[in-house]
Homo-oligomer: A and B are copies of this chain.
């Protein structure tokens, strides 16, 4: 079995793909499902999300860390954790994470979303589904590698290596070394450029929330179906 870590989305995924956008899209996605949401629709663009407004969906997302005009929610896991989404479908569009999920879905067979908050559950699910490869894909920030995503990838990689035999690539080696050499999760996320920016925006509580390790066993899982609107990917709790 191969373990591959892409420090930025690259494409050409053969089997299982685990998409990480620690600050904050995949952390928030886990939280929506934890708080009862039926499903998430990750859209290719903000316009696709706005086009779904008025169909009974809630809209969540951000640009530059701030809420998008016309959306119901920002991209804040803390905000999401205080709400009840039972029976709701949340439409999500964010700067990096939703795009990474769309790249993953182009060729991947099984697509999951992971954060630190569901890291061990996501690693177990990936291992259980994979027949040849687990690819962990870091969303990054505006096409630059994000320390917070590489750290999370290292947490998943470390746990996967404890679950079985893998041949690993350089991305996995780098992620494992970053995991071991960057302190605890809050130190790692807080020292990242993106973590510092969120702290400056007054969103430090989100950074703290996203730093909690394996507080959830919910793994957002891509499903197909005729009811999935064009330009969106549907994820349900797995």
Contact = CB atoms under 8 A, between A and B. Distances in A.
A180 B177 CA distance: 9
A169 interface: yes
A189 to B, nearest CB: 11
A143 interface: yes
A169 B6 CA distance: 19
A191 B7 CA distance: 18
A170 B182 contact: no
Given A147-B173, A173-B191, A177-B182, 8 more contacts: A10-B144, A144-B170, A145-B170, A145-B171, A147-B174, A150-B170, A174-B178, A178-B178
Nearest to A169: B193
8 contacts: A7-B7, A7-B145, A144-B169, A144-B170, A170-B194, A177-B177, A177-B181, A181-B181
Nearest to A147: B170
Contact of A193 (B10, B170, B193): B170
Interface string A73-108: 000000000000000000000000000000000000
A199 interface: no
